[in-house]
Structure 1
Amino acid sequence: MAITKLSQPASSQTQILKRFFFDWSTHANIPSGQTLSWYGSLPQIYLNSSVDSLLHKSVNALANASYGQRFNSYQALKDATKLYGESIHMLRDKMHGVIDSSHYYEVMNSIMLLSIYEGLVDESIALEGSWVSHISGGCTLLDLRGQGKIIDSPAEYEISILIFMQMIHIGLVTGQGLSISWESVKELCLPRLPYFYTHTHLIYQSACLCMEWRTALLTYKADRDIAQLSAITSQALALDKQLEEWSTSLPPSSNYTVESALADTQLEWLRPLLNTPWRPLHLHKYSTLSNQILWRFYWMVRTILNQALLFTNSILEQSKATPSPILSQTETESKLISFTDSLCESCLSTFVNIVKEDPQYYRAGAIPSVLGYLTLQVLPTLSLCLEQVDITGIDLSSRREWVARMRHFLRANLGIAKGVTAIPPSLESNIPIQIWGFS
């Protein structure tokens, strides 16, 4: 096994790793919760890895990339690129030899680390390229490993549930479906926690429907296949209703509280998110990061379903064979505004709450990067929806500007360098629903 020669001295690498574990395994006094506990395990994961192994290199690649981008260190970014290249080659070799628990654990952890790496350094905010391939490969390995073995190993479970949830996210945004059946993963979705199990099953079903929906829209010709689009619309409305019912049946510990957002702040770095033509009206308070992500998934999937419903409704209305209206356009538009506003509120809450709770986080440099990365994950859905839809009587430009400010905020303060738009404006799609028309 070749020893990687890095451009920076050992003392600098130690400092980079120290910062990495602060940024990615601490959550500013916010409990992570069961489904995000993997982040808190990163120090032990690294400690248990062999020097210059795939997992060891993957951690160091992400650590150097995170440090390099946040603190503008050319040498750290140079080392990150070298480590990433070596890790990718090792990952390809390891993917063909996953035969036992230790191999599975190393490969799945490396997939997650390298996917985060790509999420940080890739200028495009769209879900594309090797990031998607890595997560898809991880789901294939999950299927081969089997949920029975995974559920018996807390360490394997921590990483497997993250990979699976990322795969659902990709399926929703791309409309390309999932590479794994519900039967092969349902035990990972914690049947003993009915609210989490039901939530995951509903968003899984939604991702599957999005694949069917995208295919129907791609093959649709005027006044043909209306029955299929009508049937899909009815299924989507039923799923949307089930999701709404889910949101009203949660135990208090999984819910969140709402308060009015700040009008201003003395913290210069936080002001760009508050002093804007439009800003979120409320702040949310969640008991754990897992609950926050649970709710964000809820708003994201309902945003995508209702965005697709709005577009499909326009097709049905233009069709000569259209039956009576299946949905209310006004109600659907109102839902979209509610869901996108809730996502914006959740994103803002992350950074306002951490400052309100503990003075040590008054400096932007003290905010853990993982909070920015988890915020980043909602931006593709938010950006695309606000760019692609027109809402009767509402100018969305100020909301689009706020989301752009959030992207800049992540770039300036956390080193998450994302582009201005999710998809180049020069590209046009006949399916303006997320990236269904481009994937």
Structure 2
Amino acid sequence: MVNNGFPSKACANCQKRKIKCDQSKPACHQCVKAHWSCPGYRSGVDLCFRDETKGVTRKYQAYRPKRPRMSASDASSGECSPNSNALSPDVSPSRLDMDVMTRAVSFFFSQYVHRPLASSERFQPGPFEYLPSLYARSQPDGPLVTIAHAAALASFANAGNVPSWMQQSHRLFGLGILKCRHALANPVDAKSDDVLASIMLLGIYETIALKGRETMRAWSQHILGAAALIDFRGPSQFRDRVSIQMFLQIRRLIVLSAYQLQKPVPFSLKKWSTWLECADVGGNCEVVHLSNRLSEIVEILASVRSLIRASQTRDIIAVSSMLLPIDSMLQSWQDQLPMSWGSRSDPARCLEDCSLHSHFEGMPFEVYPDLYIASLWNNYRGARILIHETLLSMATSASNTTTFDTKQLCATINLLRQMTAEICLSVDYHLRPGPNASPYNSSCYQNEIATDSIPGSELLLWPLFMAEEPLHATNRRQLLEIIDVDIYNSSGYSCYVKSQRRASNFSRFSFAENMLLSLLVAAILDFCWVTQSVKLPVVDLGYGLHQAIAYNDSLDFYNFSNIRYVRAPTGNLRFTAPQPPLANRTVQNGSSGGTCPQSYPVWYLCGLALLSGSINSTDACDASLIPKPDSTEREDCLFLDVIVPKQIFADASTKQATGAPVMVWVYGGGFTFSKKYEDGNPAGLIQRSREEDPSGKGVVYVTFNYRGGAFGFLSGPNVQSNGTANAGLLDQRMALEWVQHYIHLFGGDPKQVTVFGQSAGAGSIMHQITAYAGLKGPAPFRRAILQSPGFEPFPSHWEQDNLLHKYLGLLNVSTIQEARQLPFASLSAANVELVAGSPYGTFTFAPAVDGDFVPSLPGNLLAQGNYDTSVQIMTGFNAHETLYFTDPDSTNNSIFVSSISSTFPGIQPSVANYVAQDLYPPIFNGSYPYASFYERAELTLQESAFTCNTFFLQEAAKLAAGYGYRFSVPPAYHGQDVAYTYYNAATAGHGVNATIALLMQRFFTRFALSGDPNRKGDAVTIPVYQPSDKILDLNVTGLDVVADPNDNARCRWWQKSLYY
């Protein structure tokens, strides 16, 4: 091996006597003293290698099978005679016949690159299929040709057992290294295909000519050197098919080498891999995609093993949590393989002919469609062996074995046996010659050389040596015999395989450790009948890996919590549109997440306190009601949760499954507070969806955080010139787009997404339906359920800028950029203070018209048809939405007019007067739906902020069937229906009418499953809204179809937006 073992620089006499040599010239001191003729010193090139010729010869003779001796006639009838200098083992390397080199190159290409198919002049390609064309066009004295000759001669020397040829190959190899170094010093030459191929050939030479376990490590070092050169070559390396073929092979070998060396995959490989598309390869897209996916998984394994190695941890629980999710990913990869990739048994070629193989006796060889697929299968098996051998080795050093999961260790042992057996049964077939193999007639050593192995099949040897590693895979001696005997006949590999076989003390475990492991395994095997506990699966999102944090055994679903769907909106990303997440291939399980900053109006907290009875009068309504910031509040809060039934998730790995419907919840909270999990547990919804789904599988549930308050809804010209208005709405859009791109990985169908939400969440959905005025394609969902859709239209640009200046003033800065430099605590405190002083019935922040995502108010866009008309609509509102949103002091007309001005700051006095005198006149004789000043104020706020929105949506949904209901269960105030939406056994008896709750859940889940909330034969149904404008009234006193009370002149006036 190159520079391995620090070869002696002493003269030959001193080396034999094992004494110190002063290396004096022309004769060393020891030789002068002994009156010997000093033989001098080897050249620098010779010092790169140890001369293993004698050792190789001894090993070859020891393992060389007995073969029939050639008769004299046989010897003389060949193309060459016993006196031929061309093939004489005693020929001087300096006088090497060029005919030998020609034959060696031909032999090398046929065994390592490609070989002619018997039926035609075509070639069966190997992994180095690019090499012949490069070799043909390279300079004869260049590094590629020189190193190719070295590798060719080494393979020919191994096949014929000619030590002098091997010695000459060493010299050519050293010369090739010097030429490589010279080429790398030239920036132009360094980017050539010849140089990169030369480095690949250096690794090939290592595996052919040298010995010992470190050979594999040396090969890997050459491969990682090629990775550095890939980065230097840049995009020019994709200029033609040959370059692309070389890159693809190197990419696979780099990943393989990385996990062999327990090193992360070089970033250069990730960067330039993105330049390749399937069309570039010109091959089978399915093969390319599956190969890339395996490389990605193995890359993760390499990184994790590197981390484990660096941390030196021996905690098997911690290591298991890192490795077992990767093992699950590998199993998922295998499940996706097409049927055509499977192996077939060859009963005619089984191991029963070799009495040494007692463990595999009678088992047939496994034959794969081609070498590349066989290699992929064994790389997969090798990766799983690495995972489980690591776990098994840690079990031996654990001080308290009772903490181990014995079922998992039992499964580990059985899997190691399975993986190693499958490797042994696959590699052997592709390496050893078939029964009709024809000899290589160009050599006098024809009886020693067979040429029926598949080109490049030496790549399959790595998994085989890996299969030798596991202590309990099978009897180790039997494995060694498989390596030494069965693969012996493969041309060019006999000496190579013998030299690779490790000494008997290769075990990484001490005798005591082996004894402990044997006892432990014996105990574990007694429990192999126990059903293995459910593994928490890992989903590969491309940019990251996420593991389920929990499995609900009673309800049979996984919880994938706190999945990052955008980049953290911190620093310079504050007050801007969300950005795609950065790549992080470390497995995340959602144990750490966060909630977005919360802020509450004092009037809102006062209303809740009065309803709950914690205070008795409004005199106690002050800033003391504001809760202290929660420890989970942070800017880095944009995460989502996916709750998926186990059967749906399992179907995600099958091609036949079409995917399950998806329900995405958007929480409310006045655009200033709340969080994704606050509204309730979706267990009841999921259970109802299973009951209503003919397949019994149900739906996938998703919910997410989005920015609120100043963090998500600052707006106005100054914001838009230095950031983005409506950032919170854009967060929502990114979450919905995430569902479109990734929900299929969990078993969901992106074409069957239903968004549902309440209050500000439903108001957000309304903005999502009308986003970009419908000019940027369909919405990222098919159906929408809007419960009390609410928002207060934000005032003019002047008011928007004024709010910005108030916020900046609280921060004691003058620009948004300065605010970006402040600590989060300062920004949050200012946000809390600003929202706390909101006028009664308002929240200070809300979506604003920005000319882009919100080109106009949603009511206007719906009336004009500027929205996604394909979305199916279902709406609901509560009978007394603004029961505690209304100022209790609304007791006269002047207060009413004042409240209109505070709610709509940009309203003109004449318009405010029209609202007070004509739209909602102070007439309490029963001709209007209010009987007092308070009820008048309540209805005004209810219609303008909530219920009229449902009318706008239903009127716009004339082209598609819309459905509506009114929630009238007393007291029917805003938000009361959320407990019904999330009803489950845990909430039974908490003021929720179970009959109505179950009915609502059935309506919702049926709508999500099919677009129709009704079932044929049901006693209670929701009527189609058009053309009669009818809705279903839900009340404890009855379930009745009624006219929509929002179909009135007041709502039609509000839709004109004359107040804005």
TM-score range, shorter chain: 0.7 to 0.9
Q: Secondary structure at the match of 1:262?
A: strand
Give 1:243 shift: 0.7
Superposed, 1:296-335 pairs within 5 Å as 296-315=378-397, 318=400, 322=403, 325=405, 328-335=408-415
Give 1:182 shift: 5.7
Work out the CA distance in 2 between the residues paired with 1:411 and 1:21: 12
Q: What per-residue deviation string (whole Å, max 9, x for no partner) do you get for residues 245-287 of structure 1?
A: 111211234333335463469xxxxx65x75333362322222
Of Structure 1 and Structure 2, the greater strand share is in: 2
Give 1:299 shift: 0.8
Contact 1:404 1:420 survives alignment (8 Å): no
Superposed, 1:26-425 pairs within 5 Å as 26-27=114-115, 29=117, 37-99=126-188, 103-127=191-215, 130-146=218-234, 148-180=235-267, 183-187=270-274, 192=285, 193-216=288-311, 219-220=312-313, 226=315, 230-260=317-347, 262-263=349-350, 276-279=357-360, 281-315=363-397, 318=400, 322=403, 325=405, 328-351=408-431, 355=434, 360=438, 364-368=449-453, 370-371=455-456, 373-385=458-470, 389-390=471-472, 395-406=475-486, 408-409=488-489, 414-416=494-496, 418-419=498-499, 421-422=501-502, 425=505
The one-letter amino acid of 1:115's match is G
Contact 2:144 2:197 survives alignment (8 Å): yes
Contact 1:240 1:302 survives alignment (8 Å): yes
Q: Work out the percentage of aligned pairs sharing the same amino acid.
A: 17
Contact 2:220 2:261 survives alignment (8 Å): no
Assess, with a 3 A threshold, how the Cα gap between structure 1 residues 414 and 22 changes in structure 2: closer, same or farther: farther
Give 1:360 shift: 3.7
Give 1:239 shift: 0.9
Higher relative contact order (CA 8 A, sep 6+): 1
Q: Secondary structure at the match of 1:258?
A: strand
Q: Secondary structure at the match of 1:284?
A: strand
Give 1:134 shift: 1.7
Assess, with a 3 A threshold, how the Cα gap between structure 1 residues 28 and 418 changes in structure 2: closer, same or farther: farther
Give 1:61 shift: 0.8
Q: Secondary structure at the match of 1:287?
A: coil
Contact 2:108 2:155 survives alignment (8 Å): yes
The one-letter amino acid of 2:463's match is V
Work out the CA distance in 1 between the residues paired with 2:143 and 2:325: 45
The one-letter amino acid of 1:295's match is W
Gaps of 5+ in 2: 1-92, 279-284, 441-446, 514-1060
Work out the CA distance in 2 between the residues paired with 1:422 and 1:115: 20
Assess, with a 3 A threshold, how the Cα gap between structure 1 residues 166 and 79 changes in structure 2: closer, same or farther: same
Work out the CA distance in 2 between the residues paired with 1:368 and 1:407: 10
Assess, with a 3 A threshold, how the Cα gap between structure 1 residues 400 and 59 changes in structure 2: closer, same or farther: closer
Assess, with a 3 A threshold, how the Cα gap between structure 1 residues 81 and 93 changes in structure 2: closer, same or farther: same
Q: TM-score, normalised by structure 2?
A: 0.35
Work out the CA distance in 2 between the residues paired with 1:78 and 1:121: 9
Give 1:28 shift: 6.8
Give 1:413 shift: 6.2
Q: What per-residue deviation string (whole Å, max 9, x for no partner) do you get for residues 18-42 of structure 1?
A: 2222222325749999xx7552333
Structural RMSD (CA): 3.5
Work out the CA distance in 1 between the residues paired with 2:193 and 2:159: 29
Work out the CA distance in 2 between the residues paired with 1:422 and 1:188: 41
Contact 1:254 1:291 survives alignment (8 Å): yes
Gaps of 5+ in 1: 266-270, 433-439
Work out the CA distance in 1 between the residues paired with 2:493 and 2:229: 36
Contact 1:151 1:187 survives alignment (8 Å): no
Assess, with a 3 A threshold, how the Cα gap between structure 1 residues 359 and 137 changes in structure 2: closer, same or farther: closer
Work out the CA distance in 1 between the residues paired with 2:108 and 2:499: 24
Assess, with a 3 A threshold, how the Cα gap between structure 1 residues 410 and 422 changes in structure 2: closer, same or farther: farther
State the number of aligned residues: 400
Contact 2:453 2:490 survives alignment (8 Å): no
Give 1:89 shift: 1.2
Work out the CA distance in 1 between the residues paired with 2:158 and 2:292: 37
Give 1:181 shift: 5.3
Assess, with a 3 A threshold, how the Cα gap between structure 1 residues 300 and 117 changes in structure 2: closer, same or farther: same
Q: TM-score, normalised by structure 1?
A: 0.78
The one-letter amino acid of 2:212's match is S
Contact 1:27 1:368 survives alignment (8 Å): no
Work out the CA distance in 2 between the residues paired with 1:44 and 1:21: 12
Give 1:97 shift: 2.9
Q: Structure 1 residues 305-314 or 51-60, which shifts more?
A: 305-314
Give 1:85 shift: 0.8
Provide the residue aligned with 1:20 in structure 2: 108
Contact 1:66 1:415 survives alignment (8 Å): no
Q: What per-residue deviation string (whole Å, max 9, x for no partner) do you get for residues 116-164 of structure 1?
A: 1111111113455643332111011112223x44344321222223223
Assess, with a 3 A threshold, how the Cα gap between structure 1 residues 127 and 165 changes in structure 2: closer, same or farther: farther
The one-letter amino acid of 2:358's match is P
Q: Structure 1 residues 331-340 or 63-72, which shifts more?
A: 63-72
Work out the CA distance in 2 between the residues paired with 1:396 and 1:8: 42
The one-letter amino acid of 2:149's match is N
The one-letter amino acid of 2:434's match is V
Contact 2:126 2:371 survives alignment (8 Å): no
Work out the CA distance in 2 between the residues paired with 1:318 and 1:32: 58
The one-letter amino acid of 1:318's match is N
Work out the CA distance in 1 between the residues paired with 2:243 and 2:413: 41
Work out the CA distance in 2 between the residues paired with 1:152 and 1:256: 36
Work out the CA distance in 2 between the residues paired with 1:418 and 1:95: 34
Work out the CA distance in 2 between the residues paired with 1:360 and 1:86: 35
Work out the CA distance in 1 between the residues paired with 2:187 and 2:141: 18
Give 1:318 shift: 2.2
Work out the CA distance in 2 between the residues paired with 1:189 and 1:23: 29
Q: Secondary structure at the match of 2:95?
A: coil
The one-letter amino acid of 2:112's match is W
The one-letter amino acid of 1:257's match is R
Q: Secondary structure at the match of 1:40?
A: coil
Of Structure 1 and Structure 2, the greater helix share is in: 1
Assess, with a 3 A threshold, how the Cα gap between structure 1 residues 304 and 145 changes in structure 2: closer, same or farther: same
Contact 1:189 1:197 survives alignment (8 Å): no
Contact 1:60 1:83 survives alignment (8 Å): yes
Work out the CA distance in 2 between the residues paired with 1:327 and 1:92: 54
Contact 2:109 2:115 survives alignment (8 Å): no
